[in-house]
Amino acid sequence: MNPNAYLVLSGIIFSIGALGVLLRRNAIVAFMSVELMLNAANLAFVTGARVWGKLDGQAAAFFVMVVAAAEVVIGLAIIITIFRTRNSASVDEASLLRW
């Protein structure tokens, strides 16, 4: 099986995640899109590890997962804090700190 197919798949999923960040207004859905992009990057890491025949790529994907878990915890706590003050999870509402 050609490993480039996996890379193309990861590119497609990454692009859909980027589109989600650009288009969706709900902060939680935008955040899910970020998770999707991280997953796509992980798929590319795993494919790289397989092509080079070394486990370093899999270790890198593992670290990405750890950082993503930490990021989810903080991001969702921020979303809850914003929801508590503004009663909305829309990214348009939180424009107070814009400039």
Partner 1 sequence: MVNALIRLAEVSNQESISFEPFVFWICGGLAVIGAIGMLISHKAVHSALWVALTMMNLAVLYVVQSAPFLGVTQVVVYTGAVMMLFLFVLMIVGVDASDSLVETIKGQRRIGILAGVILVSALVLLLGNSFSIQSAQLSDADSIYGGNVQGIAALLFGKYVLIFELTSALLITAALGAMILAHKERTSPRKTQANMAKELFASGNYQGPLPSPGVYARHNSVDTPALLPDGSVSEISIPGPIVARGVTKKINQSDLNEVQIISEGLGLVSSEEDDKQ
Residues 80-99 that bind partner 1 (CB under 8 A): 80-81, 83-84, 89-90, 92
91 to 15, 42, 83, 88: CA distances (angstroms): 20, 27, 10, 8
Reduced to 3 states (helix: H, G, I; strand: E, B; else coil), residue 65 is helix
Of 43 and 99, the one with the shorter C-beta distance to partner 1 is: 43
Residues 51-70 that bind partner 1 (CB under 8 A): 51-56, 58-59, 61-63, 65-70
Q: Select the residue interacting with partner 1 from 77, 94, 96, 98 (CB under 8 A).
A: 77
Residues 4-23 as x/- pattern, contact with partner 1 by CB under 8 A: xxxxxxxxxxxxxxxxx-xx
Alpha helices in 24-96 (DSSP H): 27-52, 56-86
Query: Which is nearest to 5 in space by CA: 36, 38, 50, 58?
Result: 50
What is the nearest approach in angstroms of partner 1 to the Cβ of residue 47?
6
